[in-house]
Every structure is written in structure tokens, then in C-alpha cells.
């Protein structure tokens, strides 16, 4: 498969999941192979070894050769021989040599000559349901980034319905300047609500600015995963995982409401126990800034699970009362991955001190300095020292921090 190839019946099993993008005369198609198709092609059960095959096709119509940067898709990708070695106990001698050669033949080559089309696979650690993959090429010093939210048949993810939910928004939303955006964000409600708008939920403490593909790529690079939509199968699975203390890295996130609708997207960054994760809800705002999409969000850190009648899953997470920690985590992780062009803070509410905490819809207390983080996602990597602080505001009259004595103290920033 390392020469020029054409599509055929081989794609029939997953054709509905292929996504294609073109940038400056380079066209890339991508799809995560269904497990049964990967087994048919490789003759080995990749899923049982925690491996997933990403099918790719490149058409290079530029005058220059282009190179695939596989480590940008996943720094833990497998080489062909490395993946074949995982099956050494099932094959021996000549059989393993043939399997090894099969893995090599299926691998996507790195170098793409001008005027040719190439097809192949990149093997990456398995991710349930789907993930956002950024395919990066470099040709004559020009870097092209192709972002794909790829899905597999084992999950029903909220990003798949993003288009239908967002179509209800304004077709031509007002386009704001940064100063106008700051004023709008300071006027936003401090918290999300229930469906009726009669009860307060978690604080709206983060705003991301960037197109959906850039935003999803940035969060994916920082270890955030898509979440399942809530249905009976995911409810049963979440309850079971909670009772057994098992991981469920794509567990659904319950709905909160902003702009009169539930979140458009949810993400989570899980540990190996369902009760511990960071989770984020994002709503597309009914306005843009400098032509870019504005995402208003809520982020908090989950530290436990409790039963509740207020959730369709009959369970809910207990949040860390210090919600500013989760907000800070997002800022630091995006800085670490060079994904921030600029950032600032706007006032969302008055500070909520430890002595007078507020509570979300499920009764969990929280405290906050009352500030809302605003991040402009970088289209290209930006070093942390080059990121611009907008100077809109500081993190409150003093973030609330705790010493070993447990007493709160105000810290100047």
C-alpha cells in the first residue's frame, strides 16, 4: 500500500466515517478503522493489545514533497515492527516474519512525492468511541494541520450532534472587537442553570476563542476526551463503573443550560477511577470576536461520586470546592502545549469566600475569586514566553489559598 493507490470496495465498511480536508493543494482523508476491519486487514486483533489503526490517504498536488509527522497524531504511536512484536507469542518463525511484513506493508509512508496519492495506516494507542486527531504535514517549510474529530462505532458522542444544536443559533451573529467581547463577557450570568432557568448551577469560569477544530485539537493535545451522550446504555455503564470503582474515560456529562440550551460540547480529563476527573461544558456564544467562534464554558474538578435524583444517570460527581484550580489547570495545560495566543480575565461575580460558599444544582459547595478566564486559542504553536496577557483583569481581589492550618489567606498577583 505504499505506492499510488485508489479507493475501492475496501472502504465500504467504514466509508460513512471517512473525513476529508484540503489545505493548499494537499488533501488528507482519515478514519479510525472499526475493530473488525482492522482484524481483517492485519490478521491480528489490535483491539486486544490496546492498539487502534488510523487509515489515511494523502494526495499531494504541490510541486514539493511532503512529510507526514506521525508523532503529531500521537507521540505514543507504534511503529510497524513494534506493533507486530506484540503478537510474537501467537506467531513464531516464518509466520511471525510474514505478519511483521504485513504490518510494514500497511504502514503509511512518511514521504509523499509531488503529484501522487498514498494510502496507509498509523497505529496509535486505543481510544474508545473516538478522538480528535491532528494530521500534520511539512512540505518545503510549510506546515499544514488537518484536524479530524474521528469516531468509531462503539460510542455516541456529543460532538456528532454539534452541527444540529448549533444550527439553532444566529446564522449571522454579531462580530465583536476584543473590547466589545470583554464587555459582553462581563455581562454574562455568573453561573449555568437548570433547564427552566430557576436554579443556579456551576460557575461559568472559562471562555475559549477559536474555531471548533482548533479548540478541539488544543484540548485533545492536553489530554481531554470527548464524552458520550446520555442514553440508557451509557447510564447503565456509568452506574456500574461507579459501583465497581472502574474507569469510564468517556462517561457522559449531565446537561446545564446557558443561552437557553444545554451545552454544545463536553470534555473530560479522567484519571483511572470514574469518581476523579476534570470536566468541561462549552456553549457556542451568539456572537463572534474578530471572526472567531466564542465558547463560554464551565470547568470543575470531580473528586467523588454520590447518588442523586437530580441527574438522569442517578449519580453525580462531587466537585472540588475550589473551582479556580480547574480553571488554572486549563490555562497551564494549554500554555504547556503552546496552544495560547493571548489570555485575560474578566469579572464574572463577586468573590465567594470559604465562610459563605455557594452551591450548585446537586448541593456541592464551591468558592471562587469570581473571575472568568478568557483564552484565545493559537492557530499555530506559540511559546509560553510569547503569549500575551491582555491585561483585562487580575485573578480577583486575591485567589483563596489554604495553608496547612486550613485558614484562608489572600495572595497578591
348 has a pLDDT exceeding 60? yes
pLDDT given at position 347? 96
- Reported as a pLDDT band with limits 50, 70 and 90, residue 400 is very low
> Each residue of 137-178: pLDDT tens digit?
999 989 999 988 787 655 566 666 665 445 444 468 999 999
> What H or E segment, with its residue span, contains residue 94?
helix 93-106
What residues does 282 pair with on adjacent strands? Answer: 265, 297
The C-alpha cell at 47 is 483491539
Contact (CB, 8 A) for 56 and 65: no
Count of CB atoms within 10 A of residue 158's CB?
22
Measured between alpha carbons, how far is 363 from 377 in angstroms, rounded to an integer? 33
- Strand 358-359 and strand 175-176: the pairing is unpaired
Question: What's the pLDDT at 185?
Answer: 97
Instruction: For the chain, give the number of residues.
Output: 413
**208 contact partners, CB below 8 Å, separation of at least 6:** 215, 282, 294, 295, 297, 375, 377
Per-residue model confidence (pLDDT) at position 306: 58
The three cell numbers of residue 263 are 451545552
- Are 86 and 49 within 8 A, CB to CB? yes
| Distance separating alpha carbons of residues 402 and 183, to the nearest angstrom | 32
**Residue 284, burial from CB neighbour count under 10 angstroms (0-12, 13-18, 19+):** buried
Name all domains of the chain by residue range, CATH numbers in brackets: 9-151 (2.60.40), 158-410 (no CATH)
**Separation between Cα atoms, residue 245 and residue 98, nearest integer Å:** 42
pTM above 0.85, yes or no: no
Work out the percent of the chain whose per-residue pLDDT is above 70: 79
- Among 133, 118, 148, 132, residue whose Cα is nearest residue 19: 148
Q: CA angle, 38 as apex, 32 and 44 as ends, to 5°? A: 140
> CA 294, CA 287: separation in Å to the nearest integer?
7
Distance between CA atoms of 108 and 120, rounded to whole angstroms? 4
Q: Which band of pLDDT confidence, cut at 50, 70 and 90, is reported for residue 276?
A: low
Sign of CA dihedral 111, 112, 118, 119: positive
- Assess contact for 372 and 207: CB atoms under 8 A: yes
CA distances from 246 to 49, 237, 251, 261, 271 (A): 19, 10, 11, 31, 10
pLDDT surpassing 50 at residue 214? yes
**Residue 81 · residue 105 · CB < 8 Å:** no
- Residue 250 φ then ψ, to 5°: -120, 25
Measured in whole angstroms, the distance separating CA 352 from the mean position of its chain's CA atoms is 29
Amino acid at each position: 500500500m505504499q505506492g499510488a493507490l485508489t479507493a475501492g470496495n475496501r472502504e465500504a465498511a467504514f466509508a460513512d466515517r471517512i473525513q476529508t480536508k484540503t489545505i493548499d493543494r494537499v488533501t488528507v482523508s482519515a478514519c479510525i478503522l472499526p475493530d473488525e476491519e482492522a482484524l481483517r486487514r492485519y490478521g491480528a486483533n489490535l483491539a486486544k493489545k490496546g492498539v487502534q489503526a488510523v487509515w489515511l490517504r494523502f494526495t499531494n498536488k504541490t510541486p514539493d514533497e511532503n512529510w507526514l509527522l506521525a508523532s503529531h497524531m500521537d507521540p505514543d504511536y507504534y511503529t510497524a515492527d513494534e506493533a507486530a512484536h506484540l503478537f510474537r507469542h501467537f506467531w513464531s518463525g516464518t509466520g511471525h516474519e510474514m505478519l511483521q511484513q504485513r504490518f510494514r506493508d500497511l504502514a503509511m509512508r512518511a514521504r509523499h512525492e509531488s503529484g501522487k496519492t498514498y494510502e496507509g495506516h498509523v497505529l496509535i494507542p486505543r481510544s474508545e468511541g473516538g478522538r480528535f486527531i491532528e494530521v500534520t504535514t511539512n512540505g518545503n517549510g510549510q506546515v499544514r494541520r488537518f484536524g479530524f474529530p474521528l469516531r468509531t462505532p462503539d460510542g455516541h458522542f456529543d460532538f456528532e450532534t454539534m452541527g444540529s444544536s448549533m444550527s439553532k443559533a444566529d446564522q449571522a451573529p454579531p462580530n465583536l472587537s476584543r473590547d466589545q467581547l470583554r464587555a459582553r463577557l462581563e455581562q454574562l450570568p455568573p453561573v449555568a442553570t437548570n433547564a427552566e432557568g430557576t436554579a443556579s448551577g456551576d460557575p461559568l469560569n472559562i471562555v475559549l476563542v477559536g474555531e471548533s477544530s482548533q479548540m478541539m485539537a488544543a484540548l485533545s493535545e492536553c489530554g481531554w476526551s470527548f464524552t458520550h451522550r446520555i442514553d440508557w446504555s451509557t447510564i447503565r455503564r456509568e452506574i456500574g463503573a461507579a459501583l465497581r470503582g472502574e474507569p469510564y474515560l468517556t462517561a457522559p456529562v449531565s446537561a446545564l443550560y446557558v443561552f437557553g440550551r444545554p451545552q454544545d460540547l463536553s470534555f473530560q480529563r479522567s484519571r483511572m477511577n470514574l469518581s476523579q476527573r476534570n470536566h468541561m461544558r462549552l456553549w457556542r456564544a451568539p456572537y463572534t470576536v474578530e471572526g472567531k467562534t466564542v465558547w463560554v464554558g464551565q470547568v470543575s474538578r470531580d473528586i467523588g461520586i454520590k447518588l442523586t435524583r437530580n441527574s438522569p444517570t442517578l449519580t453525580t460527581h462531587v466537585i472540588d470546592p475550589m473551582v479556580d484550580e480547574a480553571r488554572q489547570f486549563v490555562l497551564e495545560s494549554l500554555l504547556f502545549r503552546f496552544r495560547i495566543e493571548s489570555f485575560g480575565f474578566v469579572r464574572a461575580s463577586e468573590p465567594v469566600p470559604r465562610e459563605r460558599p455557594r452551591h450548585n444544582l446537586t448541593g456541592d459547595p464551591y468558592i471562587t475569586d469570581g473571575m472568568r478566564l478568557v483564552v484565545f486559542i493559537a492557530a499555530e504553536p506559540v511559546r509560553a514566553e510569547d503569549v500575551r496577557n491582555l491585561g483585562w483583569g487580575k485573578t480577583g481581589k486575591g485567589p483563596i489559598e489554604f495553608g496547612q492550618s486550613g485558614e484562608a489567606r489572600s495572595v497578591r498577583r
